[in-house]
Amino acid sequence: MKLLVTGGAGFIGSAVVRLAVARGHEVVNLDALTYAACLDNVASVAGNPLYAFEHADIRDRAALDRILAAHRPDAIMHLAAESHVDRSIDGPGTFVETNVTGTYTLLEAARAYWTRAGRPEGFRFHHVSTDEVFGSLPPDPAVKFSEATPYDPRSPYSASKAASDHLVRAWHHTYGLPVVLSNCSNNYGPYHFPEKLIPVTILSALAGKALPIYGDGSNIRDWLYVEDHADALLLVLEKGQIGRSYNIGGENERSNLELVKTLCAILDRKRPRAQGSYADQITFVADRPGHDARYAIDPTRIRTELGWRPSMTVEEGLERTVQWYLDNEHWWRPLQARQGVGQRLGVAK
Ligand code: NAD
């Protein structure tokens, strides 16, 4: 299959690109190379004849038309987005432009391309979204997000992603575009941009800096190893039912404080401090405005319909992730100089 992957120089998109090429798919990576992108993420496939890169913005209709006509993909996997909640609090405009207008522009380009090609049945537009569109859950472990959970986004980021999900469904119902959607929980793993909780914790710990915990650290997330997610995305693309959405979770709920303490314990073993534990560096800071209390995925649909389960427990995944950051300073060190990285963002003062 020939895939056009948007956002393939980002964290999850690059995992999809690497896995798709490894499985023998042809891949065109379309990316605007924003502050969050890193072409080193796809260096392992850059010389592969199955791989091509297109530097383009999903808001640029002419570029999208040119790229679709030139490469003639069988499917589009749409991951390009502004993805950091804290940045969406400080500057929501870019999130609306890329996540909403960009998705609209891509849908229109995809519709024109698919129509010109004679509306092939096998074509797919796979929209990759987040569980944050469903809002926030109570602590009751029996209550989780299913595909039927009503949308209730609360941050500018999740609102922009919810809007894009609605557009994708509308393009299916109105124009018949063959779409599938997926909403996943928090990803982590190699190549995670060093402004998100897990890499920030690992790198701040190693630098002897404070480990900032928003609020009291009780917020719960369902952690999904990025390579498991990439595997699930290719499965949804190939086997998902047209017009349907699939929730993808890690089945690994942890509070932020538990997660940071686990990372500290791993670092204590792998790179012990001269004295004491990395956990001594934990510092509680002002909470994120509107911080959702809990996210958790009910994985019943993807498990029963597509037979998919995550392969990795959060303990195994964190162990691998910490080791990856210890081994790949040449990757993360230059990214720390990018705009806003390492600063406290999203306090909405
Ligand atoms: P990321 O920020 O690491 O990467 C996003 C990529 O999109 C970057 O390479 C960037 O250059 C590119 N991009 C941004 N704006 C663009 C534009 N206008 N045109 C073309 N390219 C553009 O994001 P990620 O964490 O890899 O997330 C990928 C997708 O998965 C996003 O749609 C995000 O909403 C969704 N998602 C992420 C998570 C998570 O935990 N990271 C969870 C749920 C859903």
Q: In testing the pocket of ligand 1, which one of 83, 106, 222 has its CB within 8 Å of the most ligand atoms?
A: 83
- Residue range 171-184, pLDDT digits in tens: 999 999 999 999 99
Indicate the residue type of 171: W
Q: Is the CB of 149 under 6 A from ligand 1?
A: no
Report how far ligand 1's centroid is from the alpha carbon of 124 (Å): 19
- Residue range 13-59, pLDDT digits in tens: 999 999 999 999 999 999 999 999 999 999 999 999 999 999 999 99
Q: Given this model, what pLDDT does residue 168 score?
A: 99
Q: Is the pTM of this model over 0.95?
A: yes
Q: Is the CB of 80 under 6 A from ligand 1?
A: yes
Average pLDDT over the chain, rounded to an integer: 96
Report how far ligand 1's centroid is from the alpha carbon of 94 (Å): 13
Report how far ligand 1's centroid is from the alpha carbon of 274 (Å): 38
Integer Cα distance of 26 and 51 in angstroms: 6
Question: Which residues share a beta bridge with 128?
Answer: 182
Q: Is the CB of 9 under 6 A from ligand 1?
A: yes
Based on the residue annotation, tell me whether 157 is a catalytic residue of this protein: yes
Integer Cα distance of 204 and 24 in angstroms: 38
Give φ, ψ of 4 to 5 degrees: -100, 115
Q: Active site residue: 51, 104, 113, 157, which one?
A: 157
Looking at CATH, the fold of the domain delimited by 2-187+224-250+297-311 is given as Rossmann fold (3.40.50)
Q: Active site residue: 31, 82, 132, 195, which one?
A: 132
Return the ligand 1 atom nearest residue 102 CA.
18
> Hey, where are the domains in the chain?
2-187+224-250+297-311
CB atoms closer than 10 angstroms to residue 24? 8
Integer Cα distance of 270 and 197 in angstroms: 20
Integer Cα distance of 165 and 6 in angstroms: 16
Q: Is the CB of 33 under 6 A from ligand 1?
A: yes
Q: Given this model, what pLDDT does residue 87 score?
A: 93
Return the ligand 1 atom nearest residue 14 CA.
26
Q: Is the CB of 167 under 6 A from ligand 1?
A: no
Indicate the residue type of 341: V
Q: Given this model, what pLDDT does residue 79 score?
A: 98
Three-state secondary-structure class, residue 310: coil
Integer Cα distance of 208 and 329 in angstroms: 16
Report how far ligand 1's centroid is from the alpha carbon of 191 (Å): 13
Taking 50 as the pLDDT cut, the residues of the chain under it are: none
Report how far ligand 1's centroid is from the alpha carbon of 46 (Å): 20
Based on the residue annotation, tell me whether 31 is a catalytic residue of this protein: no
Integer Cα distance of 10 and 39 in angstroms: 8
Q: Is the CB of 64 under 6 A from ligand 1?
A: no
**From the DSSP assignment, how many helices (H) and strands (E) are in the chain?**
12, 13
27 CA to centre of own chain: 18
Q: Is the CB of 136 under 6 A from ligand 1?
A: no
Based on the residue annotation, tell me whether 253 is a catalytic residue of this protein: no
Q: Given this model, what pLDDT does residue 349 score?
A: 66
The residue whose C-alpha atom lies closest to atom 19 belonging to ligand 1 is 57
Three-state secondary-structure class, residue 55: strand
Integer Cα distance of 186 and 80 in angstroms: 16
Report how far ligand 1's centroid is from the alpha carbon of 24 (Å): 24
Return all residues near 226 (Cβ < 8 A) that are at least 6 apart: 11, 12, 15, 187, 188, 189, 190, 191, 192
60-69 burial by CB neighbour count: b if 16+ within 10 A, else e?
beebbeebbe
